[in-house]
Amino acid sequence: MWFDINRFHAFVLITWQFGIFFASQQIFPIFSNYVPKWRCFPEEEFSKNCTIYKECEGEIEFEYIYFHSTALEFDWICGWNSYWAAFYSQLQFIGVLIGTFTCGSLSDWKGRKPIAIAAMTLGITCSIISAFAWNYQVLLITRFFIGLAIGGTLVVVCTFVMEMILPQQRMALRAFFNWGVARLIMTLICYYFNDWRTASIACALFAAPAILILIFVMPESPTWLHYKGNLEEMRKSEEKVARFAGIHYIEEQHSAVVEKQSFL
């Protein structure tokens, strides 16, 4: 098998792709803040002139709407309202920053698996809730928590995956399971589900299988268990990996890890 990939490794690599796809929610504001050009009268050229938009006494006509965005629905187009579109993106990135620190520390303390499951579950749940947001305040709150989950996914799920694959498989991971694939899938979803609400649900459902794999297929990281000195649980984890992969488990002797002092 290429790169010594067995059945277990295949599921781990797929989980990586699902995780990276969910984390590509960072670029969802590109679609959700989309605003086409407009005009007030049929004889006018389409433009993004805010004076025309604010002073038009008739009905604003938009150029072809490729994606029905939050900016269009909540009128985040001109004037002070337009700042909400920027805040929408910034609030999500604040969530990513906080999620990176908190989830990383929690995974070092409680383990990779529970925090990875929690991060993905939080993100997918909030993505679905955001699709039913009845006002922009609810939408902003859910996007913040999606940002938290993205931060957790980037730090915990990705670390979890890297600890479960062989060194020679990292080439396959980078080549075939990557950000480029995730962004392509995101673009295709937004193309076929060209409304921010349905696109949010579609993105959540597409990433959901990662939770099932994390719960039912992937045991706790043997690397983390070894670091914590829990050698018995580490061996059980390795046995589960071997059993799912369909290979014979050969126990190796592992010396206890001496924890180094940190400046934290």
Q: Does a structural domain hold residue 155? A: yes
Tens digit of each residue's pLDDT (9 = 90 or more) over 111-136: 999 999 999 999 999 999 999 999 99
Regarding whether 185 and 150 lie in a shared domain, the answer is yes
Q: What pLDDT was estimated at residue 153? A: 96
pLDDT tier, 263 (very low <50, low <70, confident <90, very high otherwise): very low
For residues 53 and 118, state if they share a domain: no
Same domain, 183 and 162: yes
Q: Is residue 89 part of a domain?
A: yes
Give me the count of residues in the chain.
264
Task: Identify whether residues 110 and 233 lie together within a single domain.
Answer: yes
- Which residues contact residue 213 at a Cβ distance below 8 angstroms, ignoring those fewer than 6 apart? 11, 12, 14, 15, 18
Question: Containing domain of residue 60, as a range?
Answer: 38-68
Rounded to two decimals, the pTM is: 0.91
Question: Are 123 and 61 members of one domain?
Answer: no
Residues 158, 55, single domain; the answer is no
The answer to whether the CB of 36 falls within 8 A of the CB of 47 is no
Q: How many domains does the chain fold into?
A: 2
Q: Per residue in 73-92, pLDDT tens?
A: 999 999 999 999 999 999 99
Q: Render pLDDT for 162-195 as a digit per residue (tens, 0 to 9).
A: 999 998 888 888 888 899 999 999 999 999 999 9
Token look-up 């989309």 returns 34
As a whole number, the mean pLDDT across the chain is: 92
Q: What is the CATH number of the domain that holds 116?
A: 1.20.1250.20
What is the separation of C-alpha 156 from the centre of its chain, rounded to a whole number of angstroms? Answer: 12
How many angstroms separate the Cα of 25 from the Cα of each of 89, 109, 133? 11, 27, 17
* Residues 158 and 48 both lie in one domain: no
Within this chain, do residues 178 and 204 fall inside the same structural domain, yes or no? yes
β partners of residue 47: 38
Q: CA triplet 112, 113, 114: central angle to 5 degrees?
A: 105
Whether 213 and 171 map to the same domain: the answer is: yes
Whole-number pLDDT of residue 175: 85
Contact 22, 153 (CB under 8 A): yes
Q: Are residues 42 and 164 in the same domain?
A: no
With both helix axes pointing from N to C terminus, report the angle between 82-110 and 112-131 in degrees, rounded to the nearest 10: 160
The reply to whether 147 falls in a domain is yes
* In a shared domain, residues 47 and 15: no
**Claim to verify: residue 238 and residue 205 sit in the same structural domain:** yes
